[in-house]
């Protein structure tokens, strides 16, 4: 996209009509795409607060301004009146992705494709997607899109593209030909799972011990903490991974409403069925723990490498962080923001 030329066109249109919706949409997307985030937020704030603007445009503005529930509410109203609006259905899918509702992402994406959506990297809406999602999340959304295409146009069931992608880093970890390659893959995986947390293989065991010690001092979770510390001291990382996996699956039942899954209707014994309905980091967390806990399954997939103790401890620590960070993130995003009072 030629940003300078497009900006000139948008500004020329706005000089004739300051509320031209097409010009405002074009300008706001250019501002996002060129990294002028403060300016973009000003433009989107104007759009969002302008009650006469089209609901779809206001919804996009609300989304970029991190008002996700409000954005979805605006879209649902306009889609109820006219459901065959492919770009608005796509934006609804993007909002649901940020809210952690993967099944709803698939539903909206299928509806968008049925309505004629043909998304590619050159679409202006892609600028907004790249702003709202991290690089790995963008690729994850692409795989959901591809799975929906396969389902709609080729009659393929399941989420094969996404399932393959979710497992790739774990498979590469266990099949790395040298310790150096494995360490690089592991550090990338630690960063993906741990986010902003400063977690390295060297610090993993110490942090894991601190987590388990905290559990042991909690009356409700003391047994888990004590058994976990025993496994850690004995170097039984497969056993420890099984314990953490079981704990998180139990907590997933408790928090199932946050990620909008009907846990009792899923085959939780099938990691593919379960994880492809979960947000990306949470899914990779569970799959990492599962791989660490099931050595026989790994060997059947030619994933025969054993992971060093420090690295195992760091991965389990990262999985702890990822699961609960994700739950807290989506709970926060799902809360409507208070309306600012005008001065």
Burial of 313 (0-12, 13-18, 19+ CB in 10 A): buried
More confident residue, 319 or 4: 319
Report residue 265 as tokens: 């209707």
Q: What is the C-alpha separation between 17 and 158, in angstroms, rounded?
A: 48
| pLDDT > 60? residue 265 | yes
| Enclosing H/E stretch for 193 | helix 179-194
Q: What is the pLDDT of residue 200?
A: 78
Q: What is the C-alpha separation between 224 and 191, in angstroms, rounded?
A: 26
Q: List, for residues 60-102, the tens digit of each pLDDT value.
A: 999 999 999 999 999 999 999 999 999 999 999 999 999 999 9
**Tally of helices (H runs) and strands (E runs) in the chain:** 18, 0
Domain residue ranges in the chain: 3-154, 160-333
Burial of 131 (0-12, 13-18, 19+ CB in 10 A): middle
Q: What is the C-alpha separation between 249 and 268, in angstroms, rounded?
A: 9
Q: Which of 57, 53, 28, 54 is nearest to 40 (CA)?
A: 28
Residue with tokens 């433009």: 43
| pLDDT > 80? residue 195 | no
Q: What is the C-alpha separation between 290 and 164, in angstroms, rounded?
A: 15
Q: What is the mean pLDDT of residues 6-31?
A: 94
Q: List, for residues 270-292, the tens digit of each pLDDT value.
A: 888 899 999 999 999 999 999 99
Q: What is the pLDDT of residue 197?
A: 65
Query: CB of 102 within 8 A of CB of 278?
Result: yes
Query: CB of 106 within 8 A of CB of 144?
Result: yes
CA distances from 301 to 144, 230, 289, 294, 308 (A): 24, 30, 16, 11, 19
- How many other β-carbons are positioned within 10 Å of the β-carbon of residue 40? 24
Q: List, for residues 100-136, the tens digit of each pLDDT value.
A: 999 999 999 999 999 999 999 889 999 999 999 999 9
DSSP 8-state secondary structure symbol assigned to residue 218: S
Q: What is the C-alpha separation between 119 and 111, in angstroms, rounded?
A: 13
Q: Which of 175, 186, 178 is nearest to 299 (CA)?
A: 175
Architecture of domain 3-154: Alpha Horseshoe (1.25)
| pLDDT > 70? residue 172 | yes
- How many other β-carbons are positioned within 10 Å of the β-carbon of residue 180? 9
With the C-alpha atoms ordered 82, 87, 93, 97, is the resulting torsion angle positive or negative?
A: negative
Report residue 40 as tokens: 């973009």
Q: What is the pLDDT of residue 13?
A: 95
| pLDDT > 50? residue 343 | no
Report residue 41 as tokens: 């937020």
């Amino acid at each position: 996209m030629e940003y300078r030329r497009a900006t000139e066109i948008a500004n020329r249109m706005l000089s004739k009509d300051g509320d031209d919706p097409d010009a405002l949409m074009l300008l706001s997307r250019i501002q996002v795409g060129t990294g002028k985030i403060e300016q973009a937020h000003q433009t989107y704030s104007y759009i969002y607060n302008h009650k006469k603007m089209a609901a779809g445009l206001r919804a996009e503005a609300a989304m970029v301004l991190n008002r996700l529930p409000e954005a979805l509410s605006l879209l649902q109203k306009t889609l109820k009146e006219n459901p065959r609006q492919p770009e608005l259905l796509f934006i609804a899918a993007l909002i649901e992705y940020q809210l952690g509702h993967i099944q709803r992402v698939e539903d909206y994406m299928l509806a968008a494709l049925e309505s004629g959506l043909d998304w590619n990297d050159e679409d202006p809406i892609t600028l907004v997607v790249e702003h709202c999602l991290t690089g790995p999340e963008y690729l994850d959304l692409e795989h959901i899109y591809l799975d929906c295409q396969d389902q709609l146009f080729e009659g393929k069931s399941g989420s094969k593209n996404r399932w393959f992608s979710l497992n790739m880093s774990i498979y590469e970890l266990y099949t790395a030909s040298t310790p150096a390659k494995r360490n690089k893959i592991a550090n990338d995986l630690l960063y993906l799972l741990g986010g902003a947390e400063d977690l390295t293989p060297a610090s993993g065991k110490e942090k894991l011990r601190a987590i388990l010690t905290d559990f042991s001092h909690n009356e409700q979770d003391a047994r888990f903490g004590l058994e976990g510390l025993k496994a850690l001291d004995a170097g039984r990382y497969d056993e420890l991974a099984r314990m953490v996996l079981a704990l998180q699956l139990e907590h997933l039942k408790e928090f199932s409403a946050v990620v909008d899954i009907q846990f009792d209707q899923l085959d939780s014994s099938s990691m593919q069925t379960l994880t492809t309905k979960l947000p990306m980091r949470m899914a990779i967390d569970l799959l990492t723990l599962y791989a660490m806990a099931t050595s026989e399954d790994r060997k059947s997939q030619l994933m025969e490498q054993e992971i060093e103790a420090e690295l195992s401890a760091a991965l389990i620590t990262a999985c702890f962080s990822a699961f609960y960070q994700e739950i807290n993130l989506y709970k926060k995003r799902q809360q409507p923001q208070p309306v600012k009072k005008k001065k």
